[in-house]
Chains A and B, each alone.
Chain A
Amino acid sequence: MESNSNEITRSQKETLTAPKSDHHRLIPPVDVFENKDEILLVADLPGVTKELLTIRLEDGDLLIQGSQEEPVEGVQWRSVEFVRSFRVPNSVDPSGISAELKQGILHLKLRKREEAKPKQIEIKAL
């Protein structure tokens, strides 16, 4: 990812991510990896279920927003919301994003456009 990949446009995103009033907002720790085909983002989101997770890509801003599952009945837990956003490079194909949530960990794969993948240039000897 570009060096400023995690910078986000504050005013734009503020409205999208306004926390529910009684929610406690946390920044989840994230790993970002890259190979020639894709960017892989791994985030710790304990207690977040598929239904309570939103992943949105808009104008190159990737937003991850997840709430924790409502806990055991009769017990009042403090609701927690995880929010994190990243600036995604143009090389990412918006239609090629896949997400997997397992054991409280999100694996997000951002596939690169064909034309953005590194190419080996063949050199012909004359």
Chain B
Amino acid sequence: MPDIKVLTSAKLEEMIHETEVLLARLKAELERRRNLAQTQEINRLEKHLDESEFSLATLKDFIDYLLRQMR
């Protein structure tokens, strides 16, 4: 990173513009990745529906897990 105190105003403006463009690209890429991850999860909706089925076995497993941790 150059010493910004010695840079011309024009150069500073150019650097600000480049940074803003880069920031926008990074944000867009992050958003694209998030949306992709969400799309992939929704594509597995059948599996998630099975996982989200209420079962007393979940409660039993939870209690078993707690008891094992306590020992």
Do A and B come together as binding partners?
no
The interface of chain A, by Cβ under 8 A from chain B, is: none
The interface of chain B, by Cβ under 8 A from chain A, is: none
